[in-house]
Structure 1
Amino acid sequence: MADTLELTILMPCLNETETLAACIGKARAFLERTGIAGEIVVADNGSTDGSQAIADTLGARVVPVPERGYGAALGGGIQAARGRFVIMGDADDSYDFSRLDAFVDQLRAGADLVMGNRFSGGIAPGAMPWLHRYVGNPVLSAIGRLFFRASIGDFHCGLRGFSRAAILGLNLRTAGMEFASEMVVKATLAQLDIREVPTTLAKDGRSRPPHLRSFRDGWRHLRFLLLFSPRWLFLYPGIALLTAGLLLGAILLPGPLHLGRTSLDIHTFLVAALCIIVGLQSITFAIIGRRFASRYGFIPRSGTHDRLLEALTLERILLVALALMLVGIISLVWGISEWAARDFGPLDPSSTMRPVILALTALVSGFQMMMSGFMSSMINIPIYERRMADDSAARRNAP
């Protein structure tokens, strides 16, 4: 049967007795009108209100998904789908399943993922809270476009179609609402053919509150976008802090800086030192995070990043770390000599603290760079178990 079906219309469901029948009816009408060989699948996430019986009665196929969560329900439904293409949408009657023609046309034309855009298609009064419409969705979509260069206007539209094989190949992992972001981000990073079509959003037909929680689920989307972009989470902030700290430190190392009635002295020099330490740590986090994510398949490999990592061998990192620690030791000796020049008596903090701050900054930076180098190398250790097993099997089978 899987070879004869072109389309699966997938609806995640958790206690949707008020609207499920209407959604199934519209989906059935679409299949009958277009003559598409398809099925309707309800991925049930543990409904206790009889939603399963409604789906069975109306001819939909119910797929039980015991793991709770929007993403878990959709993931189970996609695995069980028999169609070459899948169009997914919420079972709350906010999306019109009788008008899926544009999605099917784009999928037949070769698209891997077709996103609906509610902002270009039309949002009915009361269909979307103002916080989602004017703050949440626009801001998160803009962040997604900035971080991943995705040309998607509506990152979180729940009505979308895709090639089942292409999406299964992305190995989607999240179980919650952030599943919507994960699909778009991974499809973009994998350079799939992503297109967008206008779609409408109506006020849902439920009398109960929606499962979506604005701040909780908004944070989960934002957290996912940040975790999948080590550049924006670690690298760019780290470069900014390190640059600011180095520039400010170089200016204040010889002595105070007077700007009119304002003087920048030892306290500002200390802030510059902290910026250097935090910035360097953030950059090393970016390198380690990117290496871990690409190695274990969370983020596709990058030729540029791989060449950078090849250049950043453990031995080279250790040499730089030792050089920094040597600078720290020399600066510490400088500070002690300044103290000795005063017969180890009272010190002028403005002059004496400069070499001490420089020494501690260099020592801490060198030490954390050394530890980060070892950590990065641990992640990159080759895994020999499978190779050894394959070699053993080859020896046993050898004539």
Structure 2
Amino acid sequence: MDEIDVVLPCLDEAAALPGVLSTFPAHYRAIVVDNGSTDGSPEIARRHGAVVVTEPRRGYGAAVHTGMLASRSAIVCVLDADGSLDPVELPRLVDPLTSGAADLVLGRRVASTPKAWPWHARWGNAVLAGLVRRRGLNVHDIGPMRAGYRTRLLDLGMTDRAFGYPLELLLRAARAGWRVHELDVAYRPRTAGTRSKVSGSLRGTLRAVRDMTTAMRRV
């Protein structure tokens, strides 16, 4: 099996990285994109076998885009680095791509406990997914865990470099007529000692919704 790259945007995830990287399936290579960590995350990632690249411009989209450019595999996955999603699920997302059944596969989060997904984050996600469905794409999650073909993803011409990136991706995929599949994945409380950059507070959720609706107006 050819190696598959997995892009992990990373900002101060030192507590979570050892657990995340130690559970990677065989033939999956971690590309940790450091986005300005001050807690030693890059060094920890390297010690656990990850390729580390640096993106000095803060923002989820900036980190993901840099990771996509650094990847070399035909299929590339994206995964949060905070321990909330299990890398063991990645082959399930890749299977519909290799079988030719899908062009993009999203992990639809199913919270393992109420604490895993605060109400304001679920609300924000539901609002945004509803907006995407109005554009003709039947999805229920904005999809922080996903898999697609690297060249095709880059060819979408993504421009958002902040939290609007996932929404812009889905809108551009819808416009391109892509077959987008969702698969349920377990969504766990993030590793103790880490904090959410988006959904950890109502303020963070509102900022993400703002960024994403701004991205929506551009597509």
- Fold match, TM over 0.5? yes
Which residue of structure 2 lines up, in the alignment, with residue 193 of structure 1? 179
Query: Helix, strand or coil for the counterpart of 2:168?
Result: helix
1:124 aligned onto 2:113: yes
Which residue of structure 1 lines up, in the alignment, with residue 214 of structure 2? 223
Query: Helix, strand or coil for the counterpart of 2:114?
Result: coil
Contact conserved, 2:31 with 2:71, CA < 8 A, in 1?
yes
Shift in Å, 1:206: 3.7
1:18 to 1:66, Cα distance in 2 relative to 1, 3 A: same
Which of 16, 20, 31 lines up with 1:19 in the alignment? 16
Contact conserved, 1:10 with 1:41, CA < 8 A, in 2?
yes
Counterpart Cα distance in 2 of 1:48 and 1:101? 32
Counterpart Cα distance in 2 of 1:196 and 1:151? 9
- Give the alignment's TM-score, normalised by structure 2: 0.92
Partner amino acid, structure 2, of 1:137: N
Contact conserved, 2:79 with 2:85, CA < 8 A, in 1?
yes
Counterpart Cα distance in 2 of 1:182 and 1:176? 10
Shift in Å, 1:223: 2.3
The structure whose Rg is larger is 1
Counterpart Cα distance in 2 of 1:172 and 1:198? 26
Query: Helix, strand or coil for the counterpart of 2:183?
Result: strand
Shift in Å, 1:5: 3.9
1:139 aligned onto 2:127: yes
Contact conserved, 1:172 with 1:179, CA < 8 A, in 2?
yes
Contact conserved, 1:70 with 1:177, CA < 8 A, in 2?
yes
Kindly report which structure 2 residues correspond to 1:1-399, keeping only aligned pairs within 5 A, or say none: 5-27=2-24, 30-31=25-26, 36=27, 38-110=28-100, 111-118=102-109, 121-133=110-122, 135-146=123-134, 148-154=135-141, 156-212=142-198, 213-228=204-219
1:113 to 1:94, Cα distance in 2 relative to 1, 3 A: same
Counterpart Cα distance in 1 of 2:70 and 2:218? 29
Query: Helix, strand or coil for the counterpart of 1:67?
Result: coil
Partner amino acid, structure 2, of 1:69: G
Gaps of 5+ in 2: 199-203
Partner amino acid, structure 1, of 2:125: N
Counterpart Cα distance in 2 of 1:47 and 1:194? 33
Query: Helix, strand or coil for the counterpart of 1:200?
Result: strand
Shift in Å, 1:54: 0.8
Contact conserved, 1:7 with 1:86, CA < 8 A, in 2?
yes
Contact conserved, 1:181 with 1:225, CA < 8 A, in 2?
yes
Counterpart Cα distance in 2 of 1:6 and 1:171? 25
More strand by share: 2
Contact conserved, 2:85 with 2:145, CA < 8 A, in 1?
yes
Shift in Å, 1:207: 2.7
Cα RMSD after superposing both structures: 1.5
Count of residue pairs brought into register by the alignment: 213
Contact conserved, 1:39 with 1:83, CA < 8 A, in 2?
no
Shift in Å, 1:82: 1.6
More helix by share: 1
Query: Helix, strand or coil for the counterpart of 2:82?
Result: coil
1:124 to 1:61, Cα distance in 2 relative to 1, 3 A: same
- Give the alignment's TM-score, normalised by structure 1: 0.51
Shift in Å, 1:208: 4.7
Gaps of 5+ in 1: 229-399
Partner amino acid, structure 1, of 2:175: L
